Amino acid sequence: MALIVKDTLIRKRDGALPAGSSGFFVSVPSVFLFGLAEGDKIVGEIKIKEGEEKETKEKEITLILEKESGDSFLHIPAEDWDMNFMREGRADLKLKEAIQGGKEKRKQLYPKKDVTTSPAIGCRIS
């Protein structure tokens, strides 16, 4: 199962960034990524809507986790960065698993049910 983050804002950040970051990130409340550590990688899909007709484009992505007290920042790696992400400035994410530490240990984020969050709905468990 997955953590589904709907209609999240893609933002740019300057200053100190995790290694490999493009400088663009999305934020997620830290409570949804409990048990993960700074620098872990999150594997999933990013969906963006393009153009007037809002055609959806999906891309597999591996995000870099940066933890703060209230929010976690998921950095889009430079190798995965696509300028199309900024056309709308918002995206949907379906985050499936974490790669913990340098040992490539994989862990499903939510093994039993999908969890959906967005700025508009808060949290919903399917």
Residue 32's domain spans which residues?
Answer: 3-125
Sign of CA dihedral 74, 75, 76, 77: negative
Average of pLDDT values for 14-32? 89
Enter the tokens of residue 91: 């995206």
User: CATH number of the domain that 26 lies in?
Assistant: 2.40.30
Sign of CA dihedral 8, 11, 16, 19: positive
Q: Which residues of 108-126 are buried (b: 16+ CB within 10 A; e: fewer)?
A: ebbeeeebbbeeeeeeeee
Q: Convert the pLDDT of each residue in 108-120 to its tens digit.
A: 999 899 999 887 6
Average of pLDDT values for 67-86? 83
pLDDT band at 4 (very low <50, low <70, confident <90, very high): very high
Number of domain units in the chain: 1
| pLDDT at residue number 54 | 63
Average of pLDDT values for 42-55? 77
Look up residue 89 and give its DSSP letter. Answer: S
pTM: 0.85
* Beta-strand relationship, 71-77 and 90-100: unpaired
* Beta-strand relationship, 3-9 and 115-118: parallel
